[in-house]
């Protein structure tokens, strides 16, 4: 994010840090032109209420005098505390639009900032809006920053990504972990000084994140855009929260899991006699793959993790959900629907 009080920073302020899948938050709006609601703060204002768990935050936007179609954030409150904000000349401006042309109403919030534009799309659910897409577009992508600093990306043929940071004659290059869910476009045309665009798409949490880079292999690539599509879950059910680096292989014996090999470990762990750790094959649940549930017992407390294999039993599994309780007791209907929805946006292969 490129400025304070983006949608993520609203949630950071709300809970101190991002906690769990973004799609678990709900949003309510009052006073958006055309949506038929009235702002409790009067004409020329829009009130947004963000709820995450048992925490609620209220944000007030006030229309600019010179351009009433643009709004600026003027206060933010949580509980009994409200902080007033005095917008400056370079503060973000917000534009809200309402679309009810389909059965699902949509509110679009466009945030214009110096150097970038962020667009958040909220779709109406049963009783509130959920964030379904967040896009940040850089106005003029460049590998050169203020005061001569540089930030450039490069890509190997397999998508392995490196970033080079520099200031003056001092540079530092670091290889970034290759996300196991990543797919790329543009790698085949990544050669020499030829201008090129590379996109990288990954699955993480409850979202598909697509990042666009522009530049060339010899001069380096600059970050151009990030777009995140969220797939909200069902309240009260196991919800998608992909940890793409937590993977395991399971061996099935008479319908149960008798050993586990984590992350390709050549020395698998036997589960015989382990009273603190158990695994259950949970079946396909309306997907083309297979779910395995892990239950961890510490004293009287139970915690679970759900793993999914897109190729069915015997394939590699990836953690797709976690929470409190026994794995076998979880309703996987909503989780399975989320995986199907993600697969329509990005190949959900494990």
169-195: pLDDT as tens digits: 888 999 998 998 999 999 999 989 999
Query: What's the CA gap between 252 and 250, in Å, rounded?
Result: 6
3: nearest Cα among 67, 106, 77, 72: 72
pLDDT in tens, 40-56: 999 999 999 988 778 88
Q: Indicate whether 113 pLDDT > 60.
A: yes
Distance CA 247, CA 311 (A): 14
| Sole residue written with tokens 């935050």 | 57
Please check the confidence at residue 266 and state whether its pLDDT lies above 50.
no
Per-residue pLDDT band for 272 (boundaries 50, 70, 90) equals: low
Average pLDDT over the chain, rounded to whole? 82
338 or 17, which is more confident: 338
CB distance 128 to 28 below 8 Å: yes
Q: Which of 1-15, 78-92, 116-130, 259-273 has the lowest mean pLDDT?
A: 1-15
Is residue 29 classed exposed, middle or buried when 0-12, 13-18 and 19+ CB atoms within 10 A define those classes? buried
Cβ neighbours around 312 below 10 Å, total = 11
Least confident of 32-41, 89-98, 137-146, 251-260: 251-260
Is the model more confident about 16 or about 125?
A: 125
Q: Report the first-to-last Cα separation within the chain, whole angstroms.
A: 29
Query: 149 or 200: which carries more pLDDT confidence?
Result: 200
C-alpha–C-alpha distance, residues 2 and 136, integer Å: 8
Residue 8 is predicted with a pLDDT of: 40
> Span 291-303, mean pLDDT?
87
Give the pLDDT confidence score for residue 169 in this predicted structure: 80
Q: Give the Å distances, CA to CA, from 300 to 303, 322, 326.
A: 10, 18, 11
pLDDT of 9 reads: 42
Under a CB-based contact definition with an 8 Å cutoff, are residues 250 and 317 in contact?
yes
Q: How confident is the model at residue 127 (pLDDT cuts 50, 70, 90)?
A: low
pLDDT tops 80 at residue 67: yes
Above 70 in pLDDT, residue 148?
A: yes
Q: How far is CA 279 from the centre of its chain?
A: 28
pTM: 0.82
């Amino acid at each position: 994010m490129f400025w304070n009080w983006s949608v993520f920073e609203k949630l950071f302020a709300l809970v101190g840090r991002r906690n769990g899948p973004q799609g678990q938050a709900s949003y309510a709006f009052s006073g958006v032109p055309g949506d038929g609601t009235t702002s409790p703060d009067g004409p020329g204002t829009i009130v947004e209420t963000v709820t995450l768990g048992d925490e609620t935050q209220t944000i007030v936007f006030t229309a600019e005098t010179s351009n009433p179609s643009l709004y600026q954030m003027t206060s933010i409150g949580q509980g009994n505390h409200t902080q007033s904000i005095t917008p400056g000349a370079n503060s973000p401006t917000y534009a809200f639009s309402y679309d009810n042309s389909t059965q699902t109403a949509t509110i679009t919030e466009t945030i214009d900032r110096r150097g970038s534009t962020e667009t958040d799309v909220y779709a109406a659910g049963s009783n509130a809006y959920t964030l379904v897409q967040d896009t940040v577009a850089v106005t003029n992508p460049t590998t050169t920053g203020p005061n001569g600093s540089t930030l450039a990306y490069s890509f190997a043929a397999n998508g392995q990504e490196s970033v080079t940071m520099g200031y003056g004659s001092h540079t530092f290059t670091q290889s970034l972990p290759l996300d196991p869910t990543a797919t790329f476009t543009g790698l085949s045309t990544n050669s020499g000084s030829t201008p090129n665009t590379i996109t990288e798409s990954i699955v993480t949490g409850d979202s598909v994140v697509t990042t666009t880079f522009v530049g060339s292999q010899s001069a380096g690539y600059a970050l151009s855009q990030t777009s995140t599509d969220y797939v909200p879950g069902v309240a009260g059910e196991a919800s998608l929260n992909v940890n793409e680096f937590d993977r395991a292989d399971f061996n099935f014996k008479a319908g149960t899991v008798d050993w586990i090999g984590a992350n390709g470990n050549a020395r698998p762990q036997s589960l015989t006699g382990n009273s603190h750790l158990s695994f259950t094959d949970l079946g396909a649940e309306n997907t083309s793959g297979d779910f395995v549930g892990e239950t961890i017992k510490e004293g009287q407390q139970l915690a679970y993790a759900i793993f999914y294999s897109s190729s069915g039993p015997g394939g590699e599994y990836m953690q797709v959900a976690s929470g409190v309780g026994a794995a076998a007791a979880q309703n996987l209907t909503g989780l399975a629907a989320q995986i199907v929805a993600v697969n329509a946006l990005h190949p959900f292969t494990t």
